[in-house]
Amino acid sequence: MSFITTKDLCELKKRDEKITVLTAYDASFTRHLEQAGIEVLLVGDSLGMVMQGHDSTVAVTMDDMVYHTSMVSRARERALLIADMPYHSYQNKEQALENAKRLIKDGGADMVKFEGAGDLVPIAEHLIKNDIPLCGHLGLLPQSVEELGGYKVQGREQSAADKMVQDAQALVDVGVEIIVLECIPQALAKRITNEVNVITIGIGAGKDVSGQVLVLYDLLGITPGKRPKFSKDFLKELGEGKTITDAVKSYVNAVKDLSFPGEEHSFN
Ligand code: KIV
């Protein structure tokens, strides 16, 4: 079976079918995600928090990301595979290209993702010109959580919202085809999705985006500590005797039939 491509995701967007994305960090969970029909696997640097026990993502290294991406890659059958570039791994064009190549060649990713725009746009352009497919990430940027003053909704003020739309457009202008929008008002996510020609994947961004992503451990209720408002424990909701695959299928169905995310998982 061939792998899902960005072109396939564009087709889903064109026919208004929501795209399903989940984080994956190892081979066993990846098999469950594949069985449940997840279309995109994201090896997120959230693994630093949910697997390694750090209180942010900044301790995650390139070696960690290559290791986890290769485990996911070994078990994936059909889904598009995106891997996060960790903190300080894309500070200049040469370093970013070398590290992105590792995630693709050694890790087996189809695409890499990094957080932010602005000064990073020339780096994004350099990667894409060198045949590295790149996914953007705007809104709440976990690698910059200190500078952002904590895990807070981003883009509530008009000037910040306008800037985010411009940032999304700047990424698209250099060839970015997918952007993750994290923790932003749903009206802003809708505006980016409608005004910018890009596939938007929301997490805490409401339902007017092209698709949804969640951290797998939040969906299964095994994230240590407090679960974010925008997530949902799908396994608990199903009740006794249900499997991980059942919970992931329930997420897939809820994203496809627009019952997730609800108002209670979104921000105004
Ligand atoms: O690292 C991660 O899991 C992510 C998602 C929250 C989008 O970037």
CA distances to 71, 145, 246 from 74, in Å: 5, 32, 22
- The CATH number assigned to the domain holding 219 equals 3.20.20.60
pLDDT reported for residue 227: 84
In a domain, 236, yes or no: yes
Residue 227 C-beta-side C-alpha neighbours within 13 Å: 17
Q: How many helices (H) and strands (E) does the chain have?
A: 11, 8
In a domain, 84, yes or no: yes
Q: Which residues have C-beta within 8 Å of that of residue 102, sequence separation ≥ 6?
A: 62, 66
Question: Whose structure tokens read 């903190």?
Answer: 87
Task: Give me the domain span that covers residue 172.
Answer: 6-265
Q: Which residues have C-beta within 8 Å of that of residue 129, sequence separation ≥ 6?
A: 175
Say if ligand 1 is within 6 A of residue 218 CB.
no
Q: Could you give the CA distance from residue 184 to residue 187 in angstroms, rounded to a whole number? A: 8
In a domain, 78, yes or no: yes
- Among residues 39, 125, 177, 182, the one annotated as catalytic is 182
Say if ligand 1 is within 6 A of residue 266 CB.
no
Q: Say how many domains are in the chain.
A: 1
| Whether 146 is catalytic | no
In a domain, 219, yes or no: yes
In a domain, 1, yes or no: no
Is residue 210 within 8 Å of 194, Cβ to Cβ? no
Is residue 146 within 8 Å of 168, Cβ to Cβ? no
Q: Which of 68, 84, 209 to mutate to test the pocket of ligand 1 (most atoms within 8 A of CB)?
A: 84
pLDDT reported for residue 118: 97
In a domain, 156, yes or no: yes
Taking the centre of ligand 1 as the mean of its atom positions, its distance from the CA of residue 170, in whole angstroms, is 21
Going by DSSP bridges, is the β-strand pair 19-23/111-113 parallel, antiparallel, or unpaired? Answer: unpaired
Scored b (16 or more CB within 10 A) or e, 78-114 reads ebbbbbbbbbebbeebeebbebbbbbbebbbbbbbbb
In a domain, 76, yes or no: yes
pLDDT reported for residue 171: 98
Write out residues in the chain with pLDDT < 70, as ranges. Answer: none
Say if ligand 1 is within 6 A of residue 203 CB.
yes
pLDDT reported for residue 87: 98
Q: Could you give the CA distance from residue 27 to residue 59 in angstroms, rounded to a whole number? A: 22
Q: Could you give the CA distance from residue 252 to residue 195 in angstroms, rounded to a whole number? A: 26
- Tokens found for residue 19: 């795209």
In a domain, 197, yes or no: yes
Q: Nearest-CA neighbor of 9 among 152, 133, 128?
A: 133
